[in-house]
Amino acid sequence: MINIKVNGIVELKQLKQLDGLDIEFAGFDFHKQSPRYIGDKIAGKELSAADFDIRKVGVFLNADFDEIMKAIDEYGLDVVQLQGEESPSLCEQLSDETEVIKAFNIGNSKSLIEELIEDYDEVCDYYLFHTAKQADWKQLNKTRIEKPFFLSGDIGPDDSKKLKSFSHPDFFGVDINEQFEKSIGVKDMVSILQFKQGLKK
């Protein structure tokens, strides 16, 4: 089964709708320069009180431990996703408190994927590999990863067939965002439902 993570949620109503579609993960952006920054869109107490099965993921860019822990407590986050240059030691600290997704950009990297992930193997629960183009998925096919990972990047509503044909023993889920939006942060639920159904066929 391919899990789906919908990133950049800015409305509590849409979180409820995603939960109704049995989407597994919802991402909330805590980077203040992002147009989808959650801090001025949904109150922490509202999100914390939301009693849904969908797992709430806080997405951070080079935040420190205290900032992340404050957001976990305030917003009731289930998982954190680290998008920047976060160190293995920070991941290890956080992994004692919650589940951790460490994200890597692989399309423009000159390093082998094995070199990028080597120091993070023992200190996070998932990887997320962001690619600028789907041709970069081939790099993953050649790599021993041995940890569940998400694919992110150039993925749109018509890509369910390509994702089903992507084969890797540790492929866990797909991260979707801009290409499923009506406007910044506002998701197209019909496209998400059709995408989900396409992954099942």
What residue spans define the domains of the chain? 3-200
Looking at the DSSP bridge assignments, the partners of residue 158 are none
The pLDDT of residue 141: 87
- Full DSSP string of 139-157: HHHT----S-EEEEES--T
Q: Is 3.40.50.10310 the CATH number for 3-200?
A: no
The pLDDT of residue 149: 98
CB atoms within 10 A of CB 54: 22
The pLDDT of residue 108: 63
Alpha-carbon gap, residue 80 to 97, rounded angstroms: 10
**Can you give the pLDDT of all 201 residues of the chain as single tens digits?**
899 999 999 999 999 999 999 999 999 999 999 999 999 999 999 999 999 999 999 999 999 999 999 999 999 999 999 999 999 999 999 999 999 999 999 876 657 899 999 999 999 999 999 998 888 898 898 899 999 999 999 899 999 999 999 999 999 999 999 999 999 999 999 999 999 999 987
Which token pair is 171?
A: 């492929």
Global pTM reads 0.96
